[in-house]
Amino acid sequence: MDRASRQLVDYFAAEPVRVSALLRLPLIGLIGFLVWIWEVDSWLPEVYAAILGAYSIAAVLWAVAVFRGPVPTWGGRLSTGVDVLAVVALCVVSGGATAALLPVFFLLPLSVAFGDRPVFTGVLGISTAACYLGAWIVYSKRDDHVGLPDVVYLQVGFLVWLAVATTALCFVLTRRAARVAALLDVRRRLVAESMQADERTNRELAEHLHDGPLQTLLAARLELDEVRDRMPDPALDMVYAALNDTAAGLRSTVTALHPQVLAQLGLTPGVRELVRQHESRGDVVVDAELEDVGKPVSQPLLYRAARELLANVHKHAGAHEVTIRMFRKGDRVVLTVADDGAGFEPSIVDQRVAEGHIGLASLQARFDAMGGAMSIDSGVGRGTVVTVTSPPEDFDA
């Protein structure tokens, strides 16, 4: 599995941890509420309050941490282990209120069933059943009026069954996630190979046009220029102007097919040249901040995005100002093009595809398939902001 696929798997693996971090907060609130309304004497109430308070603070801090940054691989296991220890400790020190807390044990195996870790799910489920039985034994021994009801053994059996069921569910989900990741990896590779084939075809076509028709045209123009020097004629001047326009058009086509500045100098000079060409039209003011990002593997895709987005501004936006930004963000390159033009409803992109206008939709499909992203923020009368993010790049390579 390559780097992009590993990051994709890590991303989806982190989602259950984030969901659990959110669900943990109302569960702690319910624990406090149930014990508060349970009309029994508590054993070690100060210790109980301290444990519940520390558990609550840790849960809030953990929720903030997992949503503000990357989730470490050990984060899910550690947080679930803390859940088990906290619930067991609360049961041990809560006296008669233990009966209100025991149902929480049935919720713990479910908290890791979607974490793609069958072994951990099984171990946690069996441990939860053992802790449940242990909490009942402590409660029954500490209170002379409460024995160990036979139903407890039945409930422990249900917990063991729940452990087996959640482990089987986790195993099925893990296999499905692996198949999805493999399919996404195949798709990304196919798109990458397709783009490489396009680049090769464009390069070969550009070389053919440059070395063949363009050189022939330039030679003909040179000969015509010599004829014009010997025999000035307005008709020859018109032919000469037509040859000039055709040569300029061919050069533009060759550059569009295979921009030399992109191949020789890298992405940032290539995008800077696009900005210069856009400014030369004189109809908009361009504010560009382009960080040097070298020659990332996805530079043809990013260059195509910059060219397509600037062309759309010129053709459709009716803008007065355009802002373009490009910078590194972690192991990715982010490109943003914003304008103050007419804007549009992003929901019509699919409709435009049906009508044969596939520019933005094609870009979005390519970025999605390669493991990148593309977002469109627009509305009628408020301009457009398009942000594209490259697939993961190895800048140290």
Q: What is the DSSP secondary-structure string of 376-389?
A: EEE-TTS-EEEEEE
Which secondary-structure segment (H or E) carries 200?
Answer: helix 150-209
Q: What is the pLDDT of residue 87?
A: 79
Q: Are 66 and 14 in contact (CB under 8 A)?
A: yes
Residue 350: is its pLDDT beyond 70? no
Q: Are residues 124 and 32 in the same domain?
A: yes
Pairing mode, if any, of strands 321-329 and 285-290?
parallel
Q: What is the pLDDT of residue 146?
A: 62
Q: What is the pLDDT of residue 5?
A: 45
Q: What is the CATH number of the domain that holds 376?
A: 3.30.565.10
Two tokens, residue 61: 């801090």
- The separation between CA 268 and the C-alpha centre of its own chain, rounded to angstroms, equals 23
Q: Are residues 178 and 274 in the same domain?
A: no
Query: For 307, how many CA atoms within 13 A lie in the half-sphere containing its CB?
Result: 15
pLDDT range class, residue 9, cuts 50, 70, 90: very low
Does the reported pTM lie above 0.85? no
Q: Are 284 and 321 in contact (CB under 8 A)?
A: yes
Separation CA 335–CA 289 (nearest Å): 10
- Of 12 and 321, the structure prediction assigns the larger pLDDT to 321
Q: What is the pLDDT of residue 1?
A: 45
pLDDT range class, residue 352, cuts 50, 70, 90: low
Pairing mode, if any, of strands 321-329 and 332-339?
antiparallel
Which DSSP state fits 113?
T
- Please state the rounded mean pLDDT for residues 273-292: 82
Separation CA 354–CA 179 (nearest Å): 31
Two tokens, residue 344: 């549009």
- Of 119 and 92, the structure prediction assigns the larger pLDDT to 119
pLDDT range class, residue 6, cuts 50, 70, 90: very low
Residue 178: is its pLDDT beyond 60? yes
> Residue 292 — φ and ψ, nearest 5°?
-70, 115
Q: Are 259 and 273 in contact (CB under 8 A)?
A: yes
Which DSSP state fits 396?
T
pLDDT tens digits, 245-278: 888 777 777 766 666 666 667 888 888 888 888 8
Which secondary-structure segment (H or E) carries 152?
Answer: helix 150-209
Domain tally for the chain?
Answer: 2
Separation CA 290–CA 323 (nearest Å): 11
Which DSSP state fits 334?
E
Q: Are residues 177 and 269 in the same domain?
A: no
Task: Indicate whether 302 belongs to any domain.
Answer: yes
Q: Are residues 159 and 267 in the same domain?
A: no
Task: Indicate whether 141 belongs to any domain.
Answer: yes
Q: What is the pLDDT of residue 11?
A: 46
How many angstroms separate the Cα of 114 from the Cα of each of 15, 25, 97, 120, 124?
Answer: 9, 18, 30, 11, 13
Work out the percent of the chain whose per-residue pLDDT is above 90: 2
Pairing mode, if any, of strands 373-378 and 384-389?
antiparallel
Instruction: Please give the angle made by the CA atoms of 192, 208 and 242, to the nearest 5 degrees.
Output: 120
Separation CA 176–CA 178 (nearest Å): 5
Q: Are residues 178 and 292 in the same domain?
A: no
Q: Are 299 and 266 in contact (CB under 8 A)?
A: yes
Two tokens, residue 290: 């382009």
Q: Are residues 26 and 170 in the same domain?
A: yes
Which secondary-structure segment (H or E) carries 125?
Answer: helix 118-142
Q: Are 8 and 184 in contact (CB under 8 A)?
A: yes
Task: Indicate whether 235 belongs to any domain.
Answer: no
Q: What is the pLDDT of residue 170?
A: 83
Residue 385: is its pLDDT beyond 80? yes
pLDDT tens digits, 80-117: 778 878 877 877 776 655 556 667 777 777 666 666 67
Q: Are residues 159 and 276 in the same domain?
A: no
Task: Indicate whether 210 belongs to any domain.
Answer: no
Q: What is the pLDDT of residue 238?
A: 85
Point out the domain boundary residue: 157, 188, 219.
188
Question: Out of 91-95, 98-102, 173-177, 363-367, which region has the weakest mean confidence (pLDDT)?
Answer: 98-102
Residue 7: is its pLDDT beyond 50? no
Task: Indicate whether 28 belongs to any domain.
Answer: yes
Q: Are residues 177 and 302 in the same domain?
A: no
Point out the domain boundary residue: 134, 155, 188.
188
Task: Calculate helix-pair angle for 75-93, 118-142, nearest 10 degrees.
Answer: 10
- Of 259 and 39, the structure prediction assigns the larger pLDDT to 259
Residue 133: is its pLDDT beyond 60? yes
Q: Are 372 and 388 in contact (CB under 8 A)?
A: yes
Task: Indicate whether 291 belongs to any domain.
Answer: yes
* Residue 30, C-beta contacts closer than 8 angstroms, at least 6 positions apart: none
pLDDT tens digits, 226-251: 888 788 878 777 888 888 888 877 77
Point out the domain boundary residue: 156, 188, 220.
188
pLDDT range class, residue 356, cuts 50, 70, 90: very low
Residue 37: is its pLDDT beyond 70? no
Average pLDDT, the chain: 77
Q: What is the pLDDT of residue 35?
A: 65
Range of the domain at 118: 3-188
| Most confident listed range (41-45, 266-270, 281-285) | 266-270
Separation CA 176–CA 174 (nearest Å): 5
Q: Are residues 172 and 265 in the same domain?
A: no
Which DSSP state fits 42?
P
Residue 189: is its pLDDT beyond 70? yes
Q: Which of 341, 300, 343 is nearest to 321 (CA)?
A: 341
